[in-house]
Structure 1
């Protein structure tokens, strides 16, 4: 009886060991996690992780080992990008007039409201006007909000560009008056007011290794190849662009998806992440979805114009972090990744996100190391297994003996 109990106990321990290893042995890399002292913590993903993790982070797992037991820690993956809330404010045009100083359009809101943006739309397709904006609460006494703001529209065979947005600090008035300085009467089709609230995300500077600029006279393009120092998330780019004259040109930003070897060296495939315009009227700053990459290409279409003076650029990316729930503080925890076949996990905590505390302590995450339990299962050819060879030989001998016996008997 005692012998049977010992055998059963040994089998249970063996199963625990196999199960523990089976949970972690499909991940190539791991990073130790320290500082767990409560149920909820945050973990900022380190820059060096992006190179070896799956696209979309489907392979991220947090496992805790306690003796022979292994527990999986549920988490939420958060991208700390800007959160922009746009609230459109309704208003109506109540007056239109003109004098020697220009053309005036007065708008009334139902009540004094805070706005910080007005988008204008005109029937004309080509114009370049100066605009002033004033606010009032009684339609008698006016206060200046914007002076000499420029709006522009250019449409021809090679360009279709408009800049007719007025952006200004939060202003609370019931009446707004727009003054347009023009030699011809503007045909205003529409004006939309809005209150834009932006909750700033968390950005980190992204360093680059090389900045190679080429002006292609044949295609009339300026192409900038930028190699980053490390694979990193990227969501913001600012160019230092200068010219002796006003400019407005198409710009495209792409990121490298993969590479291949050719006779001319390593070439890259690129995927588009931003299309827009670089203009002297606006800051050369571009926001786009957070993209993990190690190389980008910027293309500016010059048409028949002189190339811009481009001297430098700033790069930033939004950080990623995990919000994890640790039900037990005793196990030894680690972050595992590097499993190409892993599917994204599904945890219940995403249904109860509103119950997660906002003030979380950040955990320390260690250096990347190869997972010692990682194994690759390779299916060997059937006849490489000696047991199968012996079995096959035995079957052949039995068959030969049976046929020989049958022939001798006949």
Structure 2
């Protein structure tokens, strides 16, 4: 047996083993899809399905059974039905910067008939606390109040680094904007960003909260808020209701449970960080973050040397996920899921999202059915046990190495 024969044998074994890795479409659950009339349709993922999906949605498939019994797969993309912003930055000129009667004034000239609703400020100072006023005018003679005594603050110390310097208001259209900062010291104004933020509202759900518990850890000056939902659902917003009326700013970290174990103390959760921020009396709007499917939240507030805050409840909402799918063949289609070993599908349409219609008829998703028999795609695995596959690979490498050494000796 020559070297070429050994090489051919080796690569044949490699190919044989790789064919065995062809993934079998084996799922635990299916739902019938009804109402397919066009090429493109949307499918909203049912709330009850989230707890059975992989965290990356890698096990979601849309499979169809053709009239001849063959299986076809419909490609899809996943969309989160969240808010979207189209931020238009407005060009302007800083035409005036003066100090008068204990206040600093900054006048901005904008293009005519330009709508604005946001001004973000930057200063060459780390620590400040000012109650600013924003006014608008068409001629610099008559001024109209847009915001009055709106607090902006910057805090920089060993424990925290925090700034809140964005002014948000309803749409206005003025030729001139004037910012007033009451301050005994020069604010050292750096720059401003003036924008028109155009909001396209998303779709929201309000998951039911099953439990809300506050735990004080005085030994480490921390407060924990433990929150559990009735069902595992997508969450993208949280707001804590605080009873106290005093000013505060404290570091906050938010985590969600990714696993759990049960011991003699009950269920213990393993958490992963969701986001960190600052809990501040200046920003009572709550926190927006990327949609995350979860059931248990742990919110940790660092109190330092301050009295713990009093929390009464929490407000949360999320954005449902939907699939935009393309159907090209008449078949009986199912939404199937529940496969821990599934990979994320690779569809061509993910590279051409701009060509997908914006509006698509939503399909009716049927009740969940547990799959006792396997739903298989056209490609079937030659081997079901990975141990055999790896054994073949190792054996092939061993044989090739042994014969190579033998030839070298000869």
Output the TM-score relative to the length of structure 2: 0.81
Asked if residue 220 in structure 1 is aligned to residue 221 in structure 2, the reply is yes
Asked if residue 370 in structure 1 is aligned to residue 370 in structure 2, the reply is yes
- Conserved in 2, the CA contact under 8 Å of 1:24 and 1:374? no
- Conserved in 1, the CA contact under 8 Å of 2:134 and 2:180? yes
The answer for the alignment partner of 2:401 in structure 1 is none
- Displacement of 1:221: 0.9
The answer for the alignment partner of 1:210 in structure 2 is 211
Quote the Cα distance in structure 1 between the aligned partners of 2:227 and 2:164.
29
Secondary structure in structure 1 of the residue aligned to 2:48: helix
- Displacement of 1:300: 1.0
Secondary structure in structure 2 of the residue aligned to 1:50: helix
- Displacement of 1:26: 1.2
Asked if residue 268 in structure 1 is aligned to residue 285 in structure 2, the reply is no
Asked if residue 56 in structure 1 is aligned to residue 56 in structure 2, the reply is yes
After TM superposition, the structure 1 stretch with the greater mean CA deviation from structure 2, 192-201 or 227-236, is 192-201
Quote the Cα distance in structure 1 between the aligned partners of 2:30 and 2:60.
10
Cα root mean square deviation, aligned: 2.5
After TM superposition, the structure 1 stretch with the greater mean CA deviation from structure 2, 285-294 or 262-271, is 262-271
1:3-402 equivalences in 2 (<5 Å): 26-67=26-67, 68-100=69-101, 102-109=103-110, 111-329=112-330, 331-374=331-374
After TM superposition, the structure 1 stretch with the greater mean CA deviation from structure 2, 51-60 or 98-107, is 98-107
Provide closer, same or farther for how the CA distance between residues 373 and 23 of structure 1 changes in structure 2, counting only shifts above 3 A. farther
- Displacement of 1:257: 1.4
Quote the Cα distance in structure 1 between the aligned partners of 2:272 and 2:243.
27
- Displacement of 1:85: 2.5
- Displacement of 1:378: 6.0
- Displacement of 1:281: 1.4
The answer for the alignment partner of 1:407 in structure 2 is none
The answer for the alignment partner of 1:6 in structure 2 is none
After TM superposition, the structure 1 stretch with the greater mean CA deviation from structure 2, 317-326 or 85-94, is 85-94
Provide closer, same or farther for how the CA distance between residues 334 and 168 of structure 1 changes in structure 2, counting only shifts above 3 A. same
Quote the Cα distance in structure 1 between the aligned partners of 2:25 and 2:90.
56
- Conserved in 1, the CA contact under 8 Å of 2:102 and 2:184? no
Provide closer, same or farther for how the CA distance between residues 26 and 141 of structure 1 changes in structure 2, counting only shifts above 3 A. same
Provide closer, same or farther for how the CA distance between residues 185 and 161 of structure 1 changes in structure 2, counting only shifts above 3 A. same
- Displacement of 1:181: 1.8
Provide closer, same or farther for how the CA distance between residues 349 and 123 of structure 1 changes in structure 2, counting only shifts above 3 A. closer
After superposition, give the CA deviation of every residue in 1:281-307 in whole Å (9 maximum; x if it has no partner): 111410111111121101111111111
The answer for the alignment partner of 2:4 in structure 1 is none
After superposition, give the CA deviation of every residue in 1:26-65 in whole Å (9 maximum; x if it has no partner): 1121111122233222110011111111221111111111
Secondary structure in structure 1 of the residue aligned to 2:205: strand
Provide closer, same or farther for how the CA distance between residues 63 and 76 of structure 1 changes in structure 2, counting only shifts above 3 A. same
- Conserved in 2, the CA contact under 8 Å of 1:85 and 1:196? yes
Provide closer, same or farther for how the CA distance between residues 25 and 116 of structure 1 changes in structure 2, counting only shifts above 3 A. closer
Higher RCO, Cα 8 Å, sep 6+: 2
Quote the Cα distance in structure 2 between the aligned partners of 1:197 and 1:381.
55
Quote the Cα distance in structure 1 between the aligned partners of 2:174 and 2:249.
34
- Conserved in 1, the CA contact under 8 Å of 2:59 and 2:339? yes
Quote the Cα distance in structure 1 between the aligned partners of 2:162 and 2:72.
57
- Displacement of 1:191: 2.0
Which structure shows the higher strand fraction? 1
- Conserved in 2, the CA contact under 8 Å of 1:79 and 1:318? yes
After superposition, give the CA deviation of every residue in 1:340-386 in whole Å (9 maximum; x if it has no partner): 2222222233344344333322111122221132289765999xxxx
Quote the Cα distance in structure 1 between the aligned partners of 2:305 and 2:147.
35
Quote the Cα distance in structure 2 between the aligned partners of 1:44 and 1:222.
37
Secondary structure in structure 2 of the residue aligned to 1:48: helix
Secondary structure in structure 1 of the residue aligned to 2:283: coil
- Displacement of 1:312: 0.7
- Conserved in 1, the CA contact under 8 Å of 2:215 and 2:225? yes
Gap runs ≥5 in structure 1: 1-21, 383-410
- Displacement of 1:110: 5.0
- Conserved in 1, the CA contact under 8 Å of 2:237 and 2:287? yes
Quote the Cα distance in structure 1 between the aligned partners of 2:298 and 2:285.
16
The answer for the alignment partner of 2:405 in structure 1 is none
